[in-house]
């Protein structure tokens, strides 16, 4: 295979170029995962000796820990909100951008801006936006449009807090995914679309029959990136609410972090991290499976 693809290059030169990144990947990614897997069978507080506990940590995680399951379902909620905002938002904005004749660069930059602002700044920004006392932007807006009775402390209400911490993350990266999808949409051949329109296809038909199938490979990649990012989401919920009130915005990642670095229960934290790795792998597998099957159908 390689000899047909790379007729003039030897296997050695390929290896020379592939090995350093592979090694780096091994040290930075695979090794910690193996280490977590190893630690997940122990009880360890960091300063006393490791104690082998077999599958105790796993048993505790699956049957003995209500916070874990709360965090897991919160993580799924967080994932859904982020994906809808990031992918849905990105697709809508990119499609509109394509039809825009002037000022494309400006709009693109504006949408991309939040992705380059530091997370801490974004967390502080949203803390102000959601605030009730003193009145923040969101509550002020509600007042202005006559929905004053909806005013509330968005980050203190257990019913709104999960959405409130997910939205900044979704909003933040919409621009980034918009850019990727926009680039893919640009590559859709104009002749095809024009031919379809001449045949009487409406906007929706053009989108579903021509544009979307064309960008599907990019869409799969984008979905995988966005999903794994959202499953690993940590910083904004951690900074905004630290998982509270109660466990209403606790994600698996913030829970794992607390278990490791606040509770110094490194063994159990490793067990949770193994779960996160497996969860990410399953999510990626599912996405590929679903989108491939659709493509085949």
Partner 1 sequence: MTHTRIRAAVVAAAAAVALVLSGCAGGGSAGTDPGDVDPAGEITPREISWLLSRPADGGVITAMQQIADEYAADHPGFSLNLITTPDRPSYIQKYETLAAANKLPELFDTDATPFARKLADQGRMIDAEKLLKSLDLYDDYRPAALNYQRFDDGSLYMIPFEFQLEFFWYNTALFEQAGVQVPESLDDFPAMCTALRAAGVTPIALDGQDQWPLERYMAYHPFRTAGPEYVQELKKGDAKFADPDGQAAVDWLHSLGEAGCFAQGFSSTGYADAQALFTSGKAAVYNIGTWELGNLATENLDPAVRDDIDYFTLPLTPDAVTAANEYVTPSGIGMAVNAKTFDPLVRDFLAFALKRYPEVYAATGALSPTSNVETTIPDNATPLYERAVEQANDVGEQIAMPWDTQLDPTSNTRLQQELTLLVQGESTPDEFIDTMDSTIAQNGPAAFE
Binding-site member from 77, 114, 213, 245 for partner 1 (CB under 8 A): 245
Eight-class DSSP state of 160: T
Nearer to partner 1, 94 or 164 (CB): 164
155 binding partner 1? (CB under 8 A): yes
Binding-site member from 19, 22, 29, 34 for partner 1 (CB under 8 A): 34
Binding-site member from 25, 62, 69, 261 for partner 1 (CB under 8 A): 261
158 binding partner 1? (CB under 8 A): yes
Element holding 51 (H helix, E strand): strand 51-52
127 binding partner 1? (CB under 8 A): yes
69 binding partner 1? (CB under 8 A): no
Please state the separation of Cα 91 from the chain's center in Å: 16
Spatial distance between the Cα atoms of 255 and 62, rounded to a whole number of angstroms: 15
Spatial distance between the Cα atoms of 285 and 279, rounded to a whole number of angstroms: 10
Spatial distance between the Cα atoms of 240 and 124, rounded to a whole number of angstroms: 8
Binding-site member from 57, 222, 241, 253 for partner 1 (CB under 8 A): 241
Q: How many residues bind partner 1 (CB under 8 A)?
A: 41
Spatial distance between the Cα atoms of 97 and 285, rounded to a whole number of angstroms: 31
Binding region for partner 1 (CB under 8 A) out of 9-17, 174-182, 206-214, 258-266: 258-266
Spatial distance between the Cα atoms of 225 and 290, rounded to a whole number of angstroms: 16
Spatial distance between the Cα atoms of 294 and 274, rounded to a whole number of angstroms: 30
Task: Using CB under 8 A, list all residues that contact partner 1.
Answer: 26, 31, 34-35, 38-39, 44-50, 67, 127, 130-134, 152-153, 155-156, 158, 240-247, 258-259, 261-266
């Amino acid at each position: 295979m390689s000899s047909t693809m790379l007729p003039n290059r030897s296997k050695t030169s390929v290896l020379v170029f592939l090995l350093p990144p592979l090694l780096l990947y091994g040290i930075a990614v695979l090794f910690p995962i193996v280490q977590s897997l190893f630690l997940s069978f122990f009880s360890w507080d960091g300063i006393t000796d490791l104690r082998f506990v077999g599958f105790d940590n796993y048993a505790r995680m699956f049957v003995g820990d209500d916070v874990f399951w709360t965090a897991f379902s919160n993580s799924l909620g967080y994932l859904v909100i982020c994906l809808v905002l990031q992918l849905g938002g990105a697709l809508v904005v990119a499609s509109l951008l394509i039809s825009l004749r002037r000022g494309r660069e400006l709009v693109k930059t504006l949408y991309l801006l939040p992705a380059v602002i530091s997370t801490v700044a974004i967390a502080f920004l949203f803390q102000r936006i959601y605030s009730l006392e003193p009145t923040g932007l969101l509550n002020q807006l509600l007042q202005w449009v006559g929905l004053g009775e909806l005013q509330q402390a968005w980050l203190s209400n257990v019913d709104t807090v999960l959405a409130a911490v997910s939205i900044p993350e979704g909003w933040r990266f919409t621009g980034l995914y918009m850019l990727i999808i926009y680039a893919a949409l640009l590559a859709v051949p104009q002749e095809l679309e024009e031919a379809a329109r001449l045949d009487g296809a409406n906007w929706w038909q053009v989108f579903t029959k021509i544009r979307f199938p064309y960008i599907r490979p990019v869409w799969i990649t984008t979905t995988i990136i966005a999903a794994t990012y959202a499953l690993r989401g940590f910083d904004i919920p951690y900074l905004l609410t630290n998982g509270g009130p109660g466990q209403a915005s606790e994600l698996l990642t913030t829970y794992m972090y607390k278990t490791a670095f606040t509770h110094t229960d490194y063994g159990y934290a490793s067990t949770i991290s193994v779960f996160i790795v497996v969860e990410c792998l399953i999510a990626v597998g599912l996405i590929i499976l679903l989108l491939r099957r659709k493509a085949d159908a």
